[in-house]
A and B are shown apart, each in its own frame.
Chain A
Amino acid sequence: MAPVVQTINLHKTYMLGKVPVNALRGVDLEIESGDFVAIVGPSGSGKSTLLNLIGALDRPTEGKVIIDGVDVSTLNDDELAELRRRIGFVFQFFNLIPRLTASENVELPLAIAGVKKRQRKEKTSELLKAVGLSERAGHNPTELSGGEQQRVAIARALANEPRFLLLDEPTGNIDSKTADMLILLLRKLNEERGVTIIMITHDLNIAKQAKRIVRILDGRIIEETSNIAT
């Protein structure tokens, strides 16, 4: 079976002022459907850059990102946008739209994908129930705690039944107790629904909950371990 995400000799160089920064220096990675991968590394190691490339938010300087068998570099802006509808992003700072309620935030990707209103409502309430936030559906993000916002973000990411979830430091802005609950939720999604999860973190305790840990340093993968404990 073809991997959901595959990167081949991935390079990314960007300019920091006039200084070129080699964020990625040849990353080869394969992620199968149903996997739960944690990408760990210190800040500046290139893990966020890798996430942006896997999420089709950015284009590589060299090498290829293949998502579902499609080489991302061959796609134009519109095709990339359509591809992103099949990727569920969860950002470190949640990135909810402040003026929309929790349920409107979850509904937004469905509206963008052109799903009909009635189906959208059904799906939204189902997702909010899955992340345990049915009661908070009508609240704006500012009225929600960090953990609650994070769960809204996960519900939003799941809305279009993505091929995989991409999480950027999902526990970076929530307390440890909430973080534990979040990990439980992610594992449940992975095990019960078969959602493929790719998560960036610098917290080793969180990373240990994944099936697979990929260590990255200075733009290269330095170690890959399968987590038998799970």
Chain B
Amino acid sequence: MDVVDIFSYAWGGIKLRKLRAALTTLGIVIGIAAIVALLSLGEGFRIVITSQFERGFALDVLTVTAGRGLLANIITGSGSEEYLALNDTYTMNEIAGVRQATATLSKSIGISQGNKTYMVTAVGINFTEYSTIYSTSFQLEDGSMSLNPANDSIILGYRLHDPWKNGTILFNVGDYINLTWTTGSITKPIVKRYTFHVVGVLKEIGGISIFGPSDIQAYIPITTAQKIFETDQVSQIQVQLVSSEQETIDSVTNSIKNIYGDKVTVISPSAMLNTFSSILSTVQLLLAGLAGISLLVAGIGIMNIMIVSVIERTREIGILKSLGMKNKTVMTIFLCEAALIGLVGAAIGIVFGLGLSNFVTNFVFPLISTGTSQPNGQGNRVISNIVPVLTPTVCVGAFFFGIATSVLFALYPAWRASKLKPVEALRYE
């Protein structure tokens, strides 16, 4: 019996019990739809997160912080004894492969307008060096940047200028703004006030910034920052490399480690991106695994139905055998029935899954991300930017996975059918 005949015979068997076949198929549809929806949402999420990171990032910039890194400090419970100072940039500038190093000093401050105070991060920078290193993101929308800025100069991230994107301007170039910095102890806070002159507003960067420029930061000269924050330390040193190749990253990282030992932590954006990406992939895999459970249930459903079907069609199997059909052909017919159910189920499932993920991004996520009115709100923007992405791999994979599941769970019933003895099968009422 050739393949076409086998398939058309199997199709006839499915058509005979339409409702039953439809319900069995529904199981596969749900399983595949769940997998496709979760994977395409996950992929969309990954793309948004990655692109948001990349927007603030410069891949050729290493970030050096004092101590063994944030996590180590939390675990050991001690702040870092060592610290980095402005002149450490000179040391790093000497390292081969370094184009330029610049120091930054970040503190949390309040910016007041009327009776409202917004908590933002003030970053002390060397305007010239910083804007060279982050030349793609640190660009002015308005105002001008002096190479020798006045001590009270401040450049604002875009969201401090136009947080709601509806024309309601918070601060503009030329404004004088009040900055408050709280020091002292919690019980005896000392609030210090300073006035700054807005000399520039940055273009919108978008994304989430970890080390690079961000829409929700305010930038002041680092010398001023050290003065008002009463410290000679710096928070980080940004080291721009001559290239973003892994070799350069590794050699400079090693050089820094050789000089400072364990007293500093060097973070490369690409390494962070990789770590983050692998975490997201793991999460995605976990989600797909959960969705896979529903496919497992569907598979058991297929097995159940097929066993019933084999029992019901015992006599038919006997007839086929009496007409000279071989065992393996009988088995193939039942496997084909399962494969057809899997094929239809998987195809519909993929469409449903894509529809489901689009429904979620279009109707469910907007409900979550409403009410974002704070200039420093970030997470909501990530959610509202997610567009489900169905990669060809996932699409083809889900398709064959659906078919494979159906066939796999039909193996036993089909084998049982093929092993029926013709005499007994024909005698079956």
Q: Which of A's residues lie within 8 Å of B, judged by CB?
A: 52, 55, 57-58, 77-78, 81-86, 89, 91, 95, 97, 99-100, 108-109, 111-114, 156, 160
Contact = CB atoms under 8 A, between A and B. Distances in A.
B326 A78 contact: yes
A165 to B, nearest CB: 13
A97 B317 CA distance: 10
13 contacts: A55-B322, A57-B422, A57-B423, A82-B324, A82-B326, A85-B323, A86-B324, A91-B426, A99-B15, A108-B320, A109-B323, A109-B324, A112-B320
B329 interface: yes
B423 A81 contact: no
A91 B316 CA distance: 13
B289 interface: no
B143 interface: no
Given A84-B324, A108-B320, 6 more contacts: A58-B421, A89-B322, A109-B324, A111-B9, A112-B329, A113-B324
B324 A160 contact: yes
Contacts of B426: 57, 91, 95
B160 to A, nearest CB: 74
Contacts of A83: 324
Contacts of A100: 12
Contacts of A108: 320, 323
A112 B325 contact: yes
B12 A81 contact: no
Interface in B183-221: none
- Do most interface residues of chain B lie in helix, strand or loop, or is the interface mixed? helix
Contact of A99 (B16, B325, B422): B16
B326 A81 contact: yes
B319 A84 contact: no
A58 B13 CA distance: 27
Category for how many chain B residues contact A: 20 to 34
A58 B318 CA distance: 12
B81 interface: no
Interface in B373-429: 421-423, 426
A114 B2 contact: yes
Contacts of B421: 58
| A-B interface, 5 closest residue pairs, ranked by CB to CB distance from nearest | A85-B324, A84-B324, A109-B323, A58-B423, A81-B326
A113 B15 CA distance: 24
Nearest to B319: A95
Given A111-B1, A112-B1, A112-B329, A57 B322 contact: yes
A84 B327 CA distance: 13
A91 B15 CA distance: 26
A59 B216 CA distance: 86
B230 interface: no
Given A52-B423, A58-B422, A112-B329, A81 B324 contact: yes
